[in-house]
Structure 1
Amino acid sequence: MNLTVFGATGGIGRRLVRQALDAGHRVTAVVRDPARLEVTGGALEVVRADLTDPEPLRAAVAGRDAVLSGLGARARKDAGVASRLTRTVLGAMEAEGVRRLLVVSAAPVGPAAEGEGALDRAMLRVVSAVLRDVYADLRAMEAELARSSTDWTSVRPPRLQDKPLTGRYRTVVGGFPRAGRFIARADVAHAMLSMIDDGATVKQGVGVAY
């Protein structure tokens, strides 16, 4: 497949690029600073862009089979970037008629797991209060997705870890895995790539966790 990855130098983005290349896909990585992209490969094209205007991005998404985004706030002070930058990506995709889009959101944005225990509910309340602005931004991003013409999927992980890829995790379409508290960034990337052709995930939030 021909894929475009936004946020390709981020924790999940660079893993998306590496895993996609390893799987034999052609990848266009859209970054603000190409020097920060450590991944290389003959099937990799790097596009420098600041994501302030959808027009220059049209060539980066035109004719692609899917677009994957790791865009989002890296700290509370960055709240607002996910919805703003995703809006730009959506503008470019809709202008070019590209439909498939997968983005990273977060577990607290979606519904709680069925039968969630008291401890997990308490932890969720604390995290949601601390990162209130970040999650508000992600909810705004998901609202932008819902208004768009794209076949979107919002992948909602819990606390992220920098650990090796396992390929073993749980997913719940429209919900969240019970007692799912952690997942590696590498496995989030793996899940996103595996959902590209999964029609059951289209226009859905998908909880993913160990």
Structure 2
Amino acid sequence: MKALKLLILGGTGGVGRQLVAQASAAGHELTLLVRPTTACEVPEGVRVLRGLLDERPRLDEAMAGADAVLSCIGMQRANPANPWSASRSPEDLSSATARLIVAAMREHGVPRIVAVSAAGVGDSAAQLNLVMRFFLATSMIGTAYADLARMEAVYAESGLDWLAPRPTRLMDGAATGRVAVVERFGTRAAITRADVARWMLDALSVPSWPDPSWGGRTPQISAES
């Protein structure tokens, strides 16, 4: 794949850090837009702009000249290990930022975006097991999933070339390269954040979205069993 100019949003999170490392190693030209108070260590040559997505001049500066956008924006809990922990993010974070991103992409003629969603969002909710349904009904996870569904709708209505991969349960660990698009997923289905990042980057080399093997623009991805 030829080197691309990529804007990475959410680049300091789990999947985002993997994206930055892998995309930089692959020779892509990267720009990150990072909140002023967020710690950020990046490989040499990665351009870091400090600002907020709703600061339009800063977003314009980050977006200008990009070939594609990779977004890992998602809600954060005060205690990530506790599904009932208070949210550190607005309840409409993913959908509200998607609207800002779409407007800037249109303004600057940036055609493609890959934005991380989650298995169980939208029309994949019927595949959730009883435990996950309980979490969605009683905890912040349900709020986050509802907002991810709204985010997907924003991109679907944008007229842009978009993908919103829905990974199964995220884990730490190295990229395995053994990733499959799955129609259904079980209780133990999982994927490393590094593999999600690799799938997102690999998708940029596909000339026409969605690839027939994906089954649509919201493919569920998981580690091969």
TM value normalised by structure 1: 0.87
Q: Which secondary structure does the structure 2 equivalent of 1:102 belong to?
A: strand
2:72 aligned partner: 70
1:61-80 CA-partner distances (Å, limit 9, x unpaired): 22211110010102262232
Return the alpha-carbon distance in structure 1 between the equivalents of residues 57 and 70 of structure 2: 18
Return the alpha-carbon distance in structure 2 between the equivalents of residues 152 and 18 of structure 1: 22
Higher helix share: 1
Matches within 5 A, 1:1-210: 1-33=4-36, 36-42=39-45, 44-75=46-77, 77=87, 78=89, 79-112=91-124, 121-129=129-137, 130=139, 131-172=141-182, 176-179=183-186, 181-198=189-206, 199-201=208-210, 204-210=217-223
Do 2:24 and 2:43's aligned partners in 1 also have CA atoms closer than 8 Å? no
Moved over 4 A (4+): none
Q: CA deviation at 1:83?
A: 1.1
TM value normalised by structure 2: 0.81
Do 1:113 and 1:177's aligned partners in 2 also have CA atoms closer than 8 Å? no
The runs of 5 or more residues in structure 1 that have no matched partner are none
Output the aligned Cα RMSD. 2.2
Do 1:94 and 1:149's aligned partners in 2 also have CA atoms closer than 8 Å? no
Q: Which secondary structure does the structure 2 equivalent of 1:101 belong to?
A: strand
1:108 and 1:55, CA in 2 relative to 1: closer, same or farther beyond 3 A?
A: same
1:120-139 CA-partner distances (Å, limit 9, x unpaired): 63244234323211111111
1:72-109 CA-partner distances (Å, limit 9, x unpaired): 10226223211112221111111111110000111111
Q: CA deviation at 1:53?
A: 3.4
The runs of 5 or more residues in structure 2 that have no matched partner are 78-85
Return the alpha-carbon distance in structure 2 between the equivalents of residues 109 and 35 of structure 1: 28
Q: CA deviation at 1:145?
A: 0.7
